[in-house]
Amino acid sequence: MEIASFLIVFFMVRYIRTSLQTAERFPEWERILVIVQYAASGLLAADIFLDSSITKWLWHLMLLGMVGAAYLLKDFRPVRNVWLAVGPYILISLFSDVAKLINDDFYESISTVVEIAEVFALVWLVATWVSTQRQQKALEKERLKRLQEEEQSRIIASQNVMLEQIVAERTAELTRQKEELEQTLTELKATQDQLIQREKMASLGELTAGIAHEIQNPLNFVNNFSEVSVELIEELKEERKKENRDVELEEEILTDITQNLQKITHHGKRADSIVKGMLQHSRTNTHQQEPTDLNLLADEYLRLAYHGLRANDKSFNATLIMDFDEHLGKVTVVPQDLGRVLLNLFTNAFYATEEKRKTGLAGYQPTVQVSTKRIAGDKIEIRVRDNGCGIPQSVLTKIYQPFFTTKPTGQGTGLGLSLSYDIVTKGHGGELTVDTEEGEFTEFVIQLPG
């Protein structure tokens, strides 16, 4: 029993000194624990050389003192689990010695149970000790890990200071570059806006030329019928001055004047619609969609584009083929935007046929065909086809890129198809595709939600 008690005291002291690091943190307890180790060694020597029953009670006292200190003292709270390890063995040993002291017969009756309990207590002590050691190793590992993390944090903090200085310098440089880039971007946007406006004005110029020709017809009718109406009124006045007035003649004259005024009103409204179309085309896009007759819109812009080209080149002539779906109905679009798309496609088609005509190809007749129809899936399709020079396959993938053009310098901004593509796809949620064969034809297909 004395050897076991000595070993328990020795390892308890060692465990407490190691766990609490008493040499660094609690020097006063370190001295006391060293004294306890020496006292345990002296008590073991006394047990060996002196045959005295007093030593076993001193062992009990020392063990209870160690456990009590570990359980009660504030500084020893982290090692309270030592009580769980050695407590059962100490209590059983103390109970055994007390039972022997009180009554030997009683002790003899329970000695077997006490011995078994001591064995289990020793097994419990060893198991708890092994578990505690593992926990200590895990805690020590965690402590070392924290120390490493703290060291890494310190290194990172010092590096962060250096990096902050570098970042501050780079930020100042990037700020300067950002300001320069913003200035450059502002200038590029201004240039882009000017080019887009130029493209709009170019299409407006083509539209105006067509309108000038198209509006001349209703104006001629208005002028002619106005002159005839003035002559009829003068004739009516003269008839009324006569003594024998011809009432039937007066009624015929009044009927003619009424018909002339109706024709003047009709052609005046026609001229008014043409002017309104021009204003819609030229105004800033408001993105306001409205139900629109696409057949009428395509017919009007086809004629305006054709007459606009003829206004610049009297020798140009082309066959216009229109195949419109009579059951198309009105489609909700932005009419001035879609009109700009159609005008651009028609102008490009006439340009392609004119370039092919200039090659002097025998028997060639420039032809531009436009068709509309409702297709499966509740979609509207507009096709613009010409029998011009076609688009080379080498540039086909670039035709929607901003500022790309196959026309000679000064004859195109390269924004027409780019703007048209954006209007159809982004503005109306549709598709704009092309099918072409160089030297034979080009066909643009617009598909819009119905």
Burial of 236 (0-12, 13-18, 19+ CB in 10 A): middle
**Total number of domains constituting the chain:** 2
- Residue at 230 is within a domain: no
- Residue at 28 is within a domain: yes
Residues listed for the chain: 450
292 membership: H or E segment, kind and range: strand 290-292
- Residue at 241 is within a domain: no
Residues 293 and 433 occupy one common structural domain: yes
Chain segment 21-51, per-residue pLDDT in tens? 778 888 888 888 788 777 777 777 776 666 6
* The pLDDT of residue 284: 47
- Residue at 83 is within a domain: yes
220 membership: H or E segment, kind and range: helix 104-241
- Residue at 359 is within a domain: yes
Closest by CA position to 328, among listed 301, 349, 298 = 298
Domain boundary at 155, 179, 204, which?
A: 155
Q: How far apart are the C-alpha atoms of 133 and 14, rounded to whole Å?
A: 12
Closest by CA position to 438, among listed 387, 384, 406, 391 = 391
Residues of the chain predicted below pLDDT 70:
1-7, 47-53, 55-56, 70-72, 80-84, 192, 195-214, 216-217, 273-287, 377, 403-404, 406-415
- Residue at 448 is within a domain: yes
* The pLDDT of residue 370: 96
436 membership: H or E segment, kind and range: strand 431-437
SS3 content of the chain, % helix, strand, coil (to 5): 75, 10, 20
Q: What is the dihedral of CA 147, 148, 154, 157, to 10 degrees?
A: -130
| Residue 26, helix vs strand vs coil | coil
Q: How far apart are the C-alpha atoms of 341 and 423, rounded to whole Å?
A: 8
Q: Which pair of structure tokens corresponds to residue 188? A: 């590029």
Q: Which residue has the tokens 């002296």?
A: 42
Q: Which pair of structure tokens corresponds to residue 90? A: 């100490």
Cβ-based neighbours of 260, under 8 Å, separated by 6 or more: 225, 226, 228, 229, 232
Gyration radius of the chain over CA positions:
54
Domain boundary at 106, 124, 155, which?
A: 155
Spatial strand order in the sheet of 431-437: 319-323, 367-375, 379-386, 441-449, 431-437
- Residue at 265 is within a domain: no
Angle, alpha carbons 161-165-167 (nearest 5°)? 110
- Asked whether 46 and 59 are in contact (CB, 8 A), the reply is no
* The pLDDT of residue 303: 86
Please provide the distance, in angstroms rounded to a whole number, between the alpha carbons at the two ends of the chain: 102
Q: Which domain holds residue 343?
A: 287-450
Q: Which pair of structure tokens corresponds to residue 397? A: 């993938």
Question: How many of the other CB atoms lie within 10 Å of CB of 21?
Answer: 10
Global pTM value: 0.46
Q: How far apart are the C-alpha atoms of 448 and 143, rounded to whole Å?
A: 70
* The pLDDT of residue 263: 83
- Residue at 430 is within a domain: yes
Q: How far apart are the C-alpha atoms of 64 and 91, rounded to whole Å?
A: 9
CATH of the domain at 355: 3.30.565.10
DSSP letter, residue 243: S
Q: How far apart are the C-alpha atoms of 193 and 419, rounded to whole Å?
A: 12
* The pLDDT of residue 198: 64
Q: In the beta sheet, which residues pair with residue 370?
A: 322, 384
| Residue 385, helix vs strand vs coil | strand
Cα-based distances in Å from 169 to 162, 166, 183: 11, 5, 22
* The pLDDT of residue 333: 92
Q: Where are the beta strands (DSSP E) in 222-279?
A: none
* The pLDDT of residue 211: 60
Q: How far apart are the C-alpha atoms of 406 and 358, rounded to whole Å?
A: 17
User: 395-422 as b/e, with b when 16 or more CB fall inside 10 Å?
Assistant: eeeebbeeeebbeeeeebbbbbbbbbbb
Q: In the beta sheet, which residues pair with residue 371?
A: 323, 383
* The pLDDT of residue 416: 77
Closest by CA position to 406, among listed 382, 420, 389 = 389
- Asked whether 379 and 393 are in contact (CB, 8 A), the reply is no
Largest alpha-carbon pair distance within the chain?
177
Domain boundary at 128, 155, 182, which?
A: 155
